[in-house]
Structure 1
Amino acid sequence: MEGECKMSQVVVVIGDRLGKGHHVAKGVEAAGGKAIVISGVGADMRLGDVMDTENADIGISFCGSGGAGAITAQTKYGYPAHYGMRSVDEGITAINEGKKVLGFGFMDTEELGKRITEAYLKKVQG
């Protein structure tokens, strides 16, 4: 359509303390996003660096407390973050509040990736 604004693909970086995150990535991709999973143990601590390099729209961090990687990304790069989350709905609320980095306890599920990506797309597309 004439005058229609097409948004480029949403880029989501996933950093898991235990080197996981592949289920979340499947959900991101199912919602039409591009998932970048940081490999290796301690990946959550590199979340902000990879987000910066990849010019990512969202970063998702997983660790026991749900905070370390998100706090590091917020401190180092100034990304608005919400952490300590334990549910998908908390993540959706954070997206709607304009947060760019989401810190969760261990929740490597497709549902999380899909619903967070869908919420982000809904927010930016109006």
Structure 2
Amino acid sequence: MKEIVIVIGDRMGKGQKVAAGIESVAGCKAVVVPGMAADMKLGDVMQKENADLGISFCGSGGAGALTAKNKYGYEVRYGMRSVEEGETAIAEGCKVLGFGFMDTEELGRRIATAYVKKYGNQ
């Protein structure tokens, strides 16, 4: 069973609660990019970690996600304000999710669960 790697980049250097939610799902590992403006490094860390999914958090919900798309060509959805929008984006094949500030365990757990539901732990 392959471990699913999900990278978190938060403009304010947070993401620990989302990471806890991700890691509560069997077979999922969270990587939190450290420091301020971590969202802007999301694509780079996804490449380094060979990540399956990336989550970007900033005020607009777009900067880090769009940077990852422009630099690496990831399919993205940004400007999201609810967990349900993120679940839908995964179902539609997005690999980078851009949210406003939402550092919650529920978001991490539900996003990881949606990924496992769509792709499994191959």
TM-score, scaled relative to structure 1? 0.93
What's 1:72 paired with? 67
The partner residue of 1:48 within 43, 48, 55 is 43
Unaligned runs of 5+ in 1: 1-5
2:31 counterpart letter in structure 1: I
Aligned counterparts of 1:117 and 1:67: Cα–Cα separation in 2: 20
Question: How many residues are paired up?
Answer: 120
Same amino acid, percent of matched pairs: 67
TM-score, scaled relative to structure 2? 0.96
Aligned residue runs from structure 1 range 86-97, under 5 A: 86-97=81-92
2:11 counterpart letter in structure 1: R
The partner residue of 2:113 within 101, 115, 118 is 118
Aligned counterparts of 2:32 and 2:89: Cα–Cα separation in 1: 21
Unaligned runs of 5+ in 2: none
Q: Structure 1, residues 34-93: CA drift from partner, whole Å, max 9, x if none? A: 000000000000000000010000000000000000000000000000000000000000
* Secondary structure in 2 matching 1:122: helix
Displacement of 1:117 after TM fit?
Answer: 0.4
Alignment partner of 1:62 is 2:57: yes
1:60 counterpart letter in structure 2: I
Aligned residue runs from structure 1 range 100-111, under 5 A: 100-111=95-106
Q: RMSD between aligned alpha carbons?
A: 1.0
Alignment partner of 1:12 is 2:6: yes
1:26 counterpart letter in structure 2: A
Displacement of 1:9 after TM fit?
Answer: 1.1
What's 1:26 paired with? 20
What's 2:31 paired with? 36
